[in-house]
A and B are shown apart, each in its own frame.
Chain A
Amino acid sequence: MKRHLTITMEPIDEASLLAGRSVSSAAGAVVCFLGMVRGTESGKAITALEYEAFERMVEHQIGLLFDVMGKRWPVESVRLVHRVGLVPVGQPSLWVEVVAPHRAEAFAACQWLIDELKRVAPIWKKPMGAGGR
């Protein structure tokens, strides 16, 4: 399984990521997920989220998730980008792409990866603006 993880301070460049997509003739499904910063946090308006990551541990923990994912589903490739630093409302903080032979495993693997990332990746967010700190 090909795997690629990026933790970046820069805005997520979807066009560049899509241009870099590689799909073999054995793959019949590409699931792509974009996590956006909402304009409210706990019911209060915010202008941005400030993400902080313990990067070495994020890389290690997501690497472990990729290992498990490759054993559970016949995934051809996975790419994951998480933005850190200040991410304004309306911009993506997370981009995930899973390529697999069929849609069921591509959806399942992508859903599982995001759920697990939220559970184990040491990343924190602080709301900014009127409803933030």
Chain B
Amino acid sequence: MRVTVCFHSWFKDMAGCSRAEETLPPGSTVDTLVARVLVRFPKLADAQRSMLVAVGLEYRGRDCALSDGDEVSIFPPVQGG
């Protein structure tokens, strides 16, 4: 299955792009995707403990199962207000 990864805030700078496509095996989770992303964008490795993940518009944990066509956003802690 194919998913789109979107980077926000300074994660975008660390990745060097705002979007990337990943092809994952069926049954993959957010954890599978994050591991793949960290290999492809190693500068993000130092930030992984503070990394937040949303699938679509909802926050999701690392065990969340992904589906073909999902848009997964990866970003640092939020700072609104």
Contact call B78/A35, Cβ cutoff below 8 A: no
> A9-17, A55-63, A68-76: which one contacts chain B?
A55-63
Q: Within residues 1 to 15 of chain B, which ones have a CB less than 8 A from any CB in chain A? A: 6, 8-10
Q: Interface code A78-96, partner B: CB below 8 Å = 1, 0 otherwise?
A: 0000100000000001100
Query: Given A54-B73, A57-B73, A120 and B78 touching (CB < 8 A)?
Result: yes
Name the CB-closest residue of B to A59: B57
Determine the residue in chain B with the shortest Cβ distance to A119: B78
A123-B57 contact, Cβ under 8 Å, with A54-B8, A54-B75? no
Interface string of B4-44 (1 = CB under 8 A from A): 00101110000000000000000000000000000000000
Query: B50 at interface (Cβ–Cβ under 8 A)?
Result: no
Contact A121 B78 (CB under 8 A): yes
Min CB–CB distance B14 → chain A (angstroms): 13
The answer to whether B80 has its CB under 8 Å from any CB of chain A is yes
Q: Is the CB of A125 within 8 A of B79?
A: yes
| Number of A-B contacts defined by CB within 8 Å | 57
Find chain B residues with CB under 8 A from A121 CB: 78, 80
A133: shortest Cβ distance to chain B, in Å?
9
| Cβ contact within 8 Å between A57 and B81 | no
- Which secondary structure dominates chain A's binding surface? mixed
Number of interface residues of A (CB under 8 A): 24
8 Å CB contact of A57 from B10, B57, B79 = B57
- Is B54 close to A, CB under 8 A? yes
Q: Which residues of A contact B52 (CB under 8 A)?
A: 122
Whole-angstrom distance between the Cβ of A77 and the nearest chain B Cβ: 20
Q: Which residues of B contact A (CB under 8 A)?
A: 6, 8-10, 52, 54, 57-59, 73, 75-76, 78-81
Additional pairs, 12, CB under 8 Å, beyond known A61-B57, A124-B9, A124-B76: A52-B9, A54-B8, A54-B54, A58-B80, A60-B58, A82-B81, A118-B79, A118-B80, A122-B75, A123-B80, A124-B8, A124-B10
